Structure formats: C-alpha cells, structure tokens
Amino acid sequence: MEIFNFFVPQSQLLDPSLDRIPNVNIAWTRISPWLPWMEMGARVGLLIFQGAGMRLNSWNELPLILQTEIEARYPQFRNPPPLNVRSFITALGKIIL
C-alpha cells in the first residue's frame, strides 16, 4: 500500500490565475512485504517507508551536496523524463504506468 499526502495553501489552490501551485509539500508512506533481495521467505513482518518533500522551483534550489551526487552518480536523474515515458518498475518488480 502506498499513501501520498499533498499539502498546499488553500489560497493558491483556489487562485484561478495560477497555472501551477508554487508551495507544495508531500508526505509519502509505503507499507509492503519484504523485498525479494532481503531473502526473508515466509518470515512474519513488513516494511514501512516514509518520506517527505517539497516542490522546488529549479534545480538550483537543491542543496549543493545533492546536486553534486546526482551529477556524479545519477546524471540520468538531472532532468525528469518526458511526460509520455513515466512508467517504472517498483522494488517489487511491478510495472507502474
């Protein structure tokens, strides 16, 4: 199960002059079984992941340490993929379109 919560100022949400909401905060939770690489078999248990984030207006707003790491190790994530190519494989091997 995945849960996404988005938090935005009501005034921005209701403002028809805005074509995007500048102040967006997100909370994410995933509850899942063991991941295959954990080799936990039928052992009782589950995983709980939690994350939080916010919309940035530009790459330059990322902390320098993250920019450096992305540029060095994950340059493919420097820019988002085109809108028509947004499917991915989850940690459990499921394809999300």
Q: What is the pTM of this model?
A: 0.67
Percent of the chain with pLDDT over 90: 69
The helix or strand, by DSSP H or E, that contains position 53, with its residue range, turns out to be strand 47-54
Amino acid code (one letter) for 80: P
User: CA 62 to CA 66: how far, in whole Å?
Assistant: 6
Q: Where are the domains of the chain?
A: 2-96
Q: What is the pLDDT of residues 63-89, one digit of tens each?
A: 999 999 999 999 988 887 776 665 665
